[in-house]
Amino acid sequence: MQPEQAVAADTVIDTALAELAAGEQKWSRLPLAGRRALLDRMRTLTGRHAREWVEAAVRIKGLDPASPLVGEEWLSGPYAFATSLTAVSRTLESLERGVSPLANATFGTAGGRVTVRALPAGLYDELLLSGFRAEVWLQRGVDAVTARAGAGLAQLDPARTHGIGAVLGAGNITSIAPLDTIYELIAHNRVVALKLNPVTDPLLPVFEKIFAPLIELGVVRVLTGGPEVGGQLVRHERVAHVHMTGSAVTHDAIVWGTGPEAAERKKAGTPLLDKPITSELGGVSPTIVLPGEWSTPDLEFQAEHIATQRLHNGGYNCVATQAVIVSADWPQKDAFLAALTAAVDRAPNRHAYYPGSDHRVAGARTSYPDARRLGRGGERLLVAGLDPDTDEALFTSEYFAPVLGIVELPGSGAGFARAAVDTANEKFTGTLGVNIVAHPDTVAALGTEFDTMIERLRYGTVAVNAWTAVGYLTPTASWGAYPGHTLDDVQSGIGVVHNAWLIDGIERTVVRGPFRPAPRSVLHGEWSLTPKPPWFVSNRTAARTGRLLTDFAADPRWTRLPAIFASALRG
pLDDT in tens for each of the 571 residues of the chain? Answer: 555 555 578 889 999 999 999 999 999 999 999 999 999 999 999 999 999 999 999 999 999 999 999 999 999 999 999 999 999 999 999 999 999 999 999 999 999 999 999 999 999 999 999 999 999 999 999 999 999 999 999 999 999 999 999 999 999 999 999 999 999 999 999 999 999 999 999 999 999 999 999 999 999 999 999 999 999 999 999 999 999 999 999 999 999 999 889 989 999 999 999 999 999 999 999 999 999 999 999 999 999 999 999 999 999 999 999 999 999 999 999 999 999 999 999 999 999 999 999 999 999 999 999 999 999 999 999 999 999 888 689 999 999 999 999 999 999 999 999 999 999 999 999 999 999 999 999 999 999 999 999 999 999 999 999 999 999 999 999 999 999 999 999 999 999 999 999 999 999 999 999 999 999 999 898 989 999 999 999 999 999 999 999 999 999 999 999 999 999 999 9
Q: What does the DSSP 8-state code read for residue 75? A: I
- Cβ-contact 332, 348 below 8 angstroms: no
Q: How far apart are CA 512 and CA 436, in angstroms?
A: 9
Helix (H, G, I), strand (E, B) or coil at 164: strand
User: How far, rounded to the nearest angstrom, does the alpha carbon of residue 252 sit from its chain's CA centroid?
Assistant: 21
- Rounded Cα distance, 225 and 194, in Å: 11
Q: Please give the full DSSP string across 38-69, using - where no structure is assigned.
A: HHHHHHHHHHHTHHHHHHHHHHHHT--TTSTT
Residue 79 to residue 112: CA distance in whole angstroms: 35
Q: How do strand 433-437 and strand 191-195 relate by DSSP bridges? A: unpaired
The beta strands (E) that lie in 179-276 are given as 191-195, 220-223, 239-245
Residues 6 or more apart whose CB falls under 8 angstroms from that of 566 comprise: none
DSSP 525: T
First to last CA, the chain: 48
Are β-strands 133-138 and 506-512 bridged in parallel, bridged antiparallel, or unpaired?
Answer: antiparallel
CA–CA gap between residue 304 and residue 522 (Å, rounded): 20
414 burial via Cβ count (<10 Å: 0-12, 13-18, 19+): middle
Query: What pTM was computed for the model?
Result: 0.97
d(CA 517, CA 468): 17
Separation CA 534–CA 129 (nearest Å): 11
Q: Are 321 and 355 in contact (CB under 8 A)?
A: no
Query: CB–CB of 507/138 below 8 Å?
Result: yes
Nearest Cα neighbor of 159 from 39, 18, 27 is 27
Residues 6+ apart with CB under 8 A from 90: 101, 500
Nearest in space to 29 (alpha carbons), one of 189, 143, 149:
189
Residue-level pLDDT at 2:
53
Q: Write the single-letter amino acid at 160.
A: R
Phi, psi torsion values for 269, nearest 5 degrees? 70, 35
| Strand bridging mode 461-464 / 403-409 | unpaired
- Are 480 and 497 a contacting pair, CB within 8 Å? yes
Q: Domain spanning 285-539 has what CATH number?
A: 3.40.309.10
Task: Give CA–CA dist 397/429, Å, rounded.
Answer: 7
Cα–Cα distance for residue pair 340/31, rounded to 1 Å? 53
503-529 in b/e burial notation, b at 16+ Cβ within 10 A?
bbbbbbbbbbbbbbbbebbeeeebebb
Total residues found in the chain within this entry = 571
How many whole angstroms separate alpha carbon 40 and alpha carbon 36? 6
Contacts of 93 (CB under 8 A, 6+ apart): 32, 36
Q: Where are the alpha helices (DSSP H) in 270-429?
A: 296-311, 333-346, 357-367, 393-396, 413-427
pLDDT of the residue at 294: 98
Q: Which of 306, 273, 270, 304 is nearest to 287 (CA)?
A: 306
Element (H, E) at 371: none
